């Protein structure tokens, strides 16, 4: 198993842990990784395809949440020296967006794995800006077979 020091702020390294590629990358930091938990980050920029009028749009925040889950899986596989599988959102049970992040704000998203079974992962997700909860979700992600 590899020993990498967290946080990982190298955007290229983080991008290589997920199947999405530019311009569709919605995570740029891996802040914390533990068994059944990850904290991912994103700095909202005008270069992001989901930023409009200096505000990160709902669809971008939902994708950021999903990619935070993908980062959890990708980092698990990286630590085992195995290629990460591709996955997708199987279902979104709940989602609530309290506000949208603005240009240059740092979004930190905590993903807690509730259950993992045969490639299906059920997670609780909380996104924050400066400790303010801006969105929550519960999703199931599914690994492609």
Integer Cα distance of 113 and 90 in angstroms: 15
- Could you give all domains of the chain from N- to C-terminal order, each with its CATH number? 11-143 (3.10.129.10)
- Using a cut of 0.85, tell me whether the model's pTM lies above it: yes
Q: Is 59 helix (H, G, I), strand (E, B) or coil?
A: helix
Integer Cα distance of 119 and 102 in angstroms: 34
Residue whose entry in the numeric block shows the structure tokens 């994708």: 63
Please write the tens of the pLDDT for every residue from 10-61. Answer: 999 999 999 999 999 999 999 999 999 999 999 999 999 999 999 999 999 9
Residue 27 CB burial class (10 angstroms; 0-12, 13-18, ≥19): buried
Please write the tens of the pLDDT for every residue from 23-36. Answer: 999 999 999 999 99
Structure tokens at 141: 């992600």
């Amino acid at each position: 198993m590899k020993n990498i020091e967290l946080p990982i702020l190298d955007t290229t390294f983080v991008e290589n842990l997920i199947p999405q590629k530019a311009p569709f990358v919605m995570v740029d930091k891996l802040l914390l990784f533990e068994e059944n938990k990850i904290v991912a980050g994103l700095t909202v920029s005008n270069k992001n395809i989901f930023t409009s009028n200096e505000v990160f749009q709902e669809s971008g925040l939902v994708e950021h949440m999903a990619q935070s889950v993908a980062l959890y899986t990708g980092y698990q596989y990286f630590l085992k020296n195995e290629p990460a599988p591709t996955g997708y959102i199987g279902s979104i049970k709940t989602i609530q967006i309290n506000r949208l992040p603005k240009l240059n704000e740092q979004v930190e998203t905590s993903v807690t794995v509730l259950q993992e079974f045969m490639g299906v992962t059920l997670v609780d997700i909380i996104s924050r800006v400066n400790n303010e909860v801006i969105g929550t979700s519960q999703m199931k992600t599914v690994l492609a077979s």
